[in-house]
Amino acid sequence: MVLLRERGVCLTVGEEAPDFELEDQNGDDVQLSGFRGEKNVLLAFHPGKVNELCKEYFEFFREHIEELDELDTIVVGVNMDSFEANEEWMEEVGDLGFPILSDFNPPGDVTLEDDCFVPDEGYGKRIVFLIDKKGFIEMIDVVKPDKGACPNLSRFLERLEALEE
């Protein structure tokens, strides 16, 4: 836990994930608690606006969507761009198989609440939270801001398999 606090993440494993409702790329409202009892959630925050880095980041999850689906898990992406920008971007990259939520109005409100925002820099961190079907945080992975850096999927898959038992 100390390592995560040193890296600016104040949410901790074992606590209930803060609920929120945001608009997806289609203009539909998505509420985190709407998945409770139904699906585990890989909540993937990406800093700032859609760009090439977030394309790589979110395409990483698209490549593993079937593995995650087999473990009753949905990916939910969150960025700080407008729903219109996300809609345009999704038309360009194609269907990812999961929603990209807009944390734009006010900018970074949910990102800040989930301790993923770097106020001095004006953007969010790349963090993935694994939230179980009961709504509790099972894992947190702070992804390096380097090009091509991805979350440790094998650790997430191991934890998801343990949740199935």
pLDDT tens figures, 54-93: 667 788 889 999 999 999 999 999 887 888 888 888 888 8
Is residue 56 within 8 Å of residue 148, measured between CB atoms?
Answer: yes
Decide yes or no: CATH 3.40.30.10 for domain 2-164.
yes
Report, as an integer, the average pLDDT of 112-140: 76
Angle of helix 52-63 relative to helix 83-93, nearest 10 degrees?
60
Higher pLDDT, 126 or 99: 99
Half-sphere exposure of 35 (CA within 13 A, CB side): 26
Range in 35-44, 79-88, 155-164 the model is least confident about: 79-88
Rg (CA), the chain: 15
* CA-based nearest residue to 140, from 50, 30, 10, 6: 10
* CA-based nearest residue to 147, from 52, 59, 8: 52
Instruction: Examine the pLDDT at 160 and tell me if it is beyond 90.
Output: yes
> The pTM is what?
0.84
Which residues are 24's β-sheet partners?
101
Instruction: Examine the pLDDT at 34 and tell me if it is beyond 90.
Output: yes
